[in-house]
Homo-oligomer: A and B are copies of this chain.
Amino acid sequence: MTETEAPRTAAAPRRGRPGYDKPTLLAACVELFNRHGYEATSMGMLAAHLGISKSAIYHHVESKEAILGEALDDALDALESAFDDVAASGAPPAAQVEAAVRGTLGVLARCMPQVTLLLRLRGNSDVERAAMARRREITRRLGEMIAAAQAAGAVRDDVTPHNLARLTLGMINSIVDWYRADDGTPGHKTTEEMIEAVTGVALGGLRG
């Protein structure tokens, strides 16, 4: 698990300078992947950002794609786990939809760098395609919760549940483009406040 949420800044090694540990190095790589895009980020840029040589990176990771793969696993594990929790709760349909929305927003806030990477995949390798398949499955699961909520009369039924899931996740996921937990995005003093606001807007769209 890449500890991006750790207080230590991504580029800062353990103490003075020498020696990265793997989680810190991975977090710094993911940050640069998000800044320029995965394909536009070269191992040379990664090395410069880390302040070490290219070959030093290969001591920690097998390849550039492996860095991507580990980050995507972090994101998908967290998202799937959030959905598992909701499904295991046995709550009524409408409450499950709300819990899934809140849970997804929580994961986005906690693992924003890794999830951001996930959201921008184009399927250019097996690693990317496998991650996209897992992501689609999550959308499908939200669609099933919405379908149940429609049957219970709690959600508008003039749009298919799958398309409602897509639209809802589209809104939720878009926060990676502007919400920043640290710098205090205007209008949201805390993460909890942001989750509250976005949940309100998203659920408002689902109601009839």
Is A120 at the interface (CB under 8 A from chain B)?
yes
Is A129 at the interface (CB under 8 A from chain B)?
no
Partner of A36, one of B120, B122, B166, B169: B122
Is A7 at the interface (CB under 8 A from chain B)?
no
Q: How many residues on the A side are at the interface (Cβ–Cβ under 8 A)?
A: 41
Interface segment, one of A63-71, A78-86, A87-95, A174-182: A174-182
Given known A159-B200, A201-B206, A204-B207, contact A174–B173 (CB-CB < 8 A): yes
In the bound complex, residues from chain B placing their C-beta under 8 Å from that of A202 are: 167, 205
Q: Is the CB of A37 within 8 A of B124?
A: yes
**Nearest CB of chain B from residue A198's CB, rounded to whole Å:** 6
Is A21 at the interface (CB under 8 A from chain B)?
no
Is A197 at the interface (CB under 8 A from chain B)?
yes
Q: Is the CB of A158 within 8 A of B200?
A: yes
Q: Which residue of B lies closest to A170 (CB)?
A: B174
Given known A166-B177, A171-B167, A174-B167, contact A201–B159 (CB-CB < 8 A): yes
In the bound complex, residues from chain B placing their C-beta under 8 Å from that of A169 are: 174
Task: Give 7 A-B pairs besides A159-B187, A163-B197, A201-B206 with Cβ atoms closer than 8 angstroms.
Answer: A156-B204, A159-B200, A164-B201, A166-B174, A166-B175, A167-B202, A204-B204
- Residues of A at the B interface (CB closer than 8 Å) are 35-37, 39-40, 120, 122, 124, 156, 158-160, 162-164, 166-175, 177-178, 185-188, 197-198, 200-202, 204-208
